[in-house]
Amino acid sequence: MLSPEDLSAFAISLRLAAVTTMILLLLASPLAWWLSQTRSRFRSIIEALVALPLVLPPTVLGFYLLLGLSPTGPFAGALETLGIDRLAFSFQGLVLGSVIYSLPFVVQPLQNSFYALGKRPLEVAATLGAGPLHRFIHVVLPLSKLGYLTAAVLGFAHTLGEFGVVLMIGGNIPGETHVVSIAIYDHVEALEYSQAHWLSAALLALSFIVLLVVYSTNKHFTLVRS
C-alpha cells in the first residue's frame, strides 16, 4: 500500500498541479488573447518563446532555472526584495518551473479557441454597446469554455507528470518538493516495485477518471486541436 511518504508525494504533486494550473489560466488568458488578436510583428517572437518548452529537454530548462534561482544567481537580489529567500529547492521554485514548463499547453488551446470564435460575436457585442472588458467577460469567456477546459486539463496533467525540471530544481525534499513522479522513480531505483506499482496505478486511475468526467460532460471536447 501507499506509505505516508508516498501519500505526501501525491499530495504535493496535486497541489503543485492545481496551483500551477490556476496561475497559468490567469496568465495565459491575456497572453493568448493578445496573440489571437494582434498583428504586431513581435507576435512570432512571443509565440516561439511560449512554444520553447515543447521542444526543449526539461533538463535544459531546469538547468537554467537552477542557475537563475540560486541565492547567488542573477535574480537573487530581486527575489530578496520580494521577501523570497530562496526559490531553488522550494515548492515556490517548483511552481515557477512548472508554470514555464506547462505554459504552451495552456496558451495554445486558449489561443486556438479564441481564433475559432471569429470576429462576428465580438462585432455584434460591440455594436450593442459592449466595451472591450465586457466583451471578453460576457462573450469570449463563455464561448471559450471548451478551450479553457482543454487548457486546464492539459496544464494540470502536464504538471503532474513533470520530471526533468523537478529533478533539476526540486532537490527532492520530502514534504516540500518530493513529488509523485520522482517518488516512482526512486522506488524503481530501490527495486521497490510494488510501491512503484501502487503510485503508478493511482496516477493512471486518476488521469483516466479526470478525462472520463471531462469527455462525458462535454460533447465536443478534444485534447488535440489543429
Partner 1 sequence: MIDVDVQLDRGSFRLQADFEVPGKGVTGIFGASGSGKTTLLRAVAGLEEGARGQISVNDSVWLSRDADIPVHRRKVAYVFQEASLFPHLNVEGNLLFGRTRVNELVHQFDLEEVISLLGLKDLLHRDPESLSGGEKQRVAIGRALLSKPSLLLMDEPLSGLDHGSRKSLMLFLEKTIQSLEIPVLYVSHSSDEIARLAANLVLMKDGLVSAYGAIAEVLVQVDSPFATSEEAFTVLECRVGEGEDLHISHIHSRGGETLRISKVRHGVGMPVRLRIQARDVSLCLTRPLHSSILNILPATVRALSRQVENGHRTVKLDIAGDNVLARVSEYSCQQLTICPGLELFAQIKSAALVT
Q: Interface with partner 1 includes 124 (CB under 8 A)?
A: yes
Query: Which of 94, 125 has the CB closer to partner 1?
Result: 125
Are residues 100 and 60 in contact, defined by beta-carbon separation less than 8 angstroms? no
- Which cell numbers hold the place of 62? 531546469
Say how far apart CA 52 and CA 171 lie, in whole Å.
24
197 binds partner 1 (CB under 8 A): no
Retrieve residue 173's grid coordinates: 525534499
> Which one, of 93, 140, 150, 90, lies nearest residue 116 by Cα?
140
Among the candidate windows 84-92, 115-123, 199-207, 216-224, which touches partner 1 by CB under 8 A?
A: 115-123
- Binding-site size for partner 1 (CB under 8 A) equals 19
Q: Does 117 bind partner 1 (CB under 8 A)?
A: no
State how far the Cα of 94 lies from the Cα of 98, in Å rounded to an integer.
6
The alpha-carbon radius of gyration of the chain (Å, integer) is: 20
Helix 58-69 × helix 91-117 angle, to 10° = 120
Q: Rule CB under 8 A: is residue 31 a binding residue for partner 1?
A: no
Interface with partner 1 includes 126 (CB under 8 A)?
yes
CB under 8 Å to 209, separation ≥6 — which residues?
Answer: none
For residue 65, state whether it binds partner 1 (rule: CB under 8 A): no
Give, as ranges, the residues between 131 and 170 that touch partner 1 (CB under 8 A).
Answer: 131-132, 134-135, 138-139, 142-143, 145
Least distance from partner 1 to the Cβ atom of residue 220, Å: 12
* Shortest distance in whole angstroms from residue 142 CB to partner 1: 4
> Interface with partner 1 by CB under 8 A: which residues?
120-121, 123-132, 134-135, 138-139, 142-143, 145
